[in-house]
Structures are given as structure tokens and as C-alpha cells.
Amino acid sequence: MIPALRGHVCDMGDVVRVETWYVKGRKHIAPALRIGAPKDTNPEDREIRGTATPSTGKRDVAMDLQADKKVTLSIQWTDEMGNPTEAPANAVAAWSVDDTSLINFTDNGDSTATAAAVGTLGTANVHVTVVDGVSTFDGDLQIVVVAGLAERINVVAGVPEEVTPDA
């Protein structure tokens, strides 16, 4: 995402034309989501809390997260060519998730967040907005909660069948 000086959007039905103008010589930076290593959750991580925020309907990155895991999310800043760069001065991040019945979400207040699966399978969307006083940057991550590794078994009985014929 590159902050534009001026833009124009023309919706022509099946096609959308976007015109964007940039200031020459201005350093363009964009955040990219960075996903930490998954960790086991505790029972308190799986307690549903918080409120849901509407989904933006878009994603920059998608990841699978096992139903019994949590993951730390952070922001990695890049220039327009994808090269790592420093965060802008005064950058403040605000994180949210659209489905708290799938993901318990904690904004850690230091530009990181923790997403913990609560055990229910499904898809949730994480959104982060970063404001630095001049520009606003947005990033989206889709988390697909999938089943964990096999740890238990269930004995399943089939349909009862007649052993001896009735006369």
C-alpha cells in the first residue's frame, strides 16, 4: 500500500479503473503483517471475549491456525519495492478481529497482537490500521481455524443388525 497524493476511481461495472498520483522523491512505505510461531493455548485463551468488528472483506495474507494454538502478530514495514524499512515516527497501530467466536484477540498496545483460536473451526479476519499523523496504513490477515493434531479417539457404534432371523 502506497499513500497516494490524489486518486480517482471509475467504476465501469465489471471493471474498475483506478488512477493514482504520487509525489516524486517521496519515500513510500507500507506495512506487511508478520506472523510469529504458533504456541499452545491455555484454557483462558479459549474463553470468548471482546466484541466483533465488521470484516473489510479483503486480505493481504491468509494462514491456517490449529484450533488449540495461538499466534503473535506484528507489523514489518517495507518500502514500495518490498525492502525492510523503519516504522514512521509516531506510528500507532490499532488491531481488531471480525469474529470473536473463533478467535480471542488481544491488542498488546506495542504494535503487536495475539490471536488465540477458541476451538471452533471457521474463518476470521484480522485488521490493523496504523496512523502516523500524516498517513494511514491498513493491513488484513485471514485466519482459517483448522483441526489440531489427533490426540484422542472416539469409539463409534454402527447401525444395529439382526443376529437371528425372526420367524
Q: What's the CA gap between 80 and 92, in Å, rounded? A: 20
Q: What's the CA gap between 55 and 72, in Å, rounded? A: 20
> Domain extents for the chain?
29-146
pTM: 0.62
CATH topology of domain 29-146: Immunoglobulin-like (2.60.40)
Q: What is the pLDDT of residues 4-35, one digit of tens each?
A: 444 556 677 777 676 666 666 666 566 666 66
Q: What is the pLDDT of residues 51-93, one digit of tens each?
A: 544 545 455 678 899 999 999 999 888 877 778 888 888 889 9
Residues 6+ apart with CB under 8 A from 106: 113, 114, 116
Supply the DSSP symbol for 84.
B
Give the residue-averaged pLDDT of 109-117.
92
